[in-house]
Amino acid sequence: MCFIHPAATFSVHCTASCPATGGLQELEELQEHGAEARETPGETPRGSPLLSRVSPVTTTTMACFSYVALLVTLCCSGASAFHRRPRGFHSRSVPDELWSSTEQLVAMRGYECEVHTVRTPDGYELTLHRIPRAKATKAEDDYGRHGTPVLFAHGLASNSEMFALGPSAAYYLVDAGFDVWLVNYRGSFYGQKHVSLKPQSRAFWDFSWNENGLIDQPTFIDYILKTTGRPKLFTVGHSMGATTQVVMMSEMPEYAKEKVISSVLLAPGIYFRKPGGLMRVLDLIYGAYPQLKNSHTSLVLNGKMPLGDQDLLPVCFAGDQLRELCRGPMTMMMGPPHTPDYRTFQKLMAHYPNGGSIRQFMHYLQSTTSGGFRKYDFGPEKNQRLYGSLEPPSYNLSAIATPVHVFYGTGDYLTTPKNVVRFIKRCPTVQKVHAVPHFNHVDFITGDDYIVTELVNKKILEVFQSYL
């Protein structure tokens, strides 16, 4: 595991090992949970997951690899420098998108990209990437009612590049006449500046997705509305981006109702009761190493391997084909891909993960322990001081007053269908639910262009059109 020194340099020493006991039983439970999540009533599964076709020995080996890969990637990363080719990976057939910024990715698609900087009340300087409606035709512009703004919010340890890489709804909505804004939360690659704090300081990383939702999100919204002169906007959030939106809507219901027309949540990470996939792995690690509770502000996450200048791409890809070595762990963590587009997935791996606070991860892990959707647990003493109770309070989902539309994948091992339904039952303003057959957690970003457009992007456009 990761043992973080409190020194100013924040050296990180890592060792990794597989669970000494119970690993196979725990993985079998995970396999059963994942299979349950993938199947839907009246449907035949599209095929057994990789884990169900291997021997117990191989399964245990894969579990060990998953733990090691996860720890190395997330806990022991080197400098955040993914915008260049790593050593040992010089194939001329590799697309330039692997090493490009959001601005460059958008330009490659033939769109204009504006770069804006906003400052939060607590001093973080965050980047907003805007894709204005310049490419829209007059006929399509009518759908967007002359450029209604849409805020896109990224997931954990991610940034705005996730919506610029593949067939996301961002480009689709721009073509329909909307004014698209891609946010970058504090701690992301484009969110590592502060008026007084340095990223090397512990204080800089003292936040979870609670602060992303209560401080960053309204700061972005206010800036977008002021810049465009519009009274309201739409939001689209994937994974943690959906979490932050729900935090804001539940804690600031009047503000959200006044500023947000409607919110689309893709694979929303709200409840993690009996988690599967990556959350199950992290939950096991958290249970085995409770000392991680105290490391939440001192580790910067990014996308590089720790030994020299090595990237995950040469390990996982032969050309544009994903090696079996990485296919298994990826499937176990996220769920089997619907119609895998490994070229887009390769781009995703080149840009992910890149930056975030350990407290963001720990906040999710606390959700697996409590089974609820609660504020950050600082321990009884600090909880009493901050919240007036020994336990952290739950976010008040019943207070949400903004119309919500939910999209989730029936094959998602991370935000499982059961947990998404648990949220849907507790949110009073859910208007419509879209269960996307066989989608895993990242298919919304890396899936086949035609499939994502037909099953997701067109439906998001229909949702927005219904409010205009």
Catalytic center residues: 239, 441
DSSP of 97-138, one letter per residue? GGG--HHHHHHHTT---EEEEEE-TTSEEEEEEEE-STT--H
Neighbours of 53 (CB within 10 A): 10
Residues 6+ apart with CB under 8 A from 7: none
Q: Which amino acid is at 273?
A: R
The residue behind tokens 């609660």 is 374
Alpha-carbon Rg for the chain in angstroms: 21
Neighbours of 464 (CB within 10 A): 24
Q: Is 371 left (phi over 0), alpha (psi -120 to 50) or beta?
A: left
**What distance in Å separates the CA atoms of residue 176 and residue 38, rounded to the nearest whole number?**
33
Element (H, E) at 220: helix 217-228
Q: Cis link prior to 353 (omega < 30° from 0)? A: yes
Half-sphere exposure at residue 231, Cβ-oriented, CA atoms within 13 angstroms: 3
Cβ atoms of 211 and 187 closer than 8 Å: no
Cβ atoms of 38 and 45 closer than 8 Å: yes
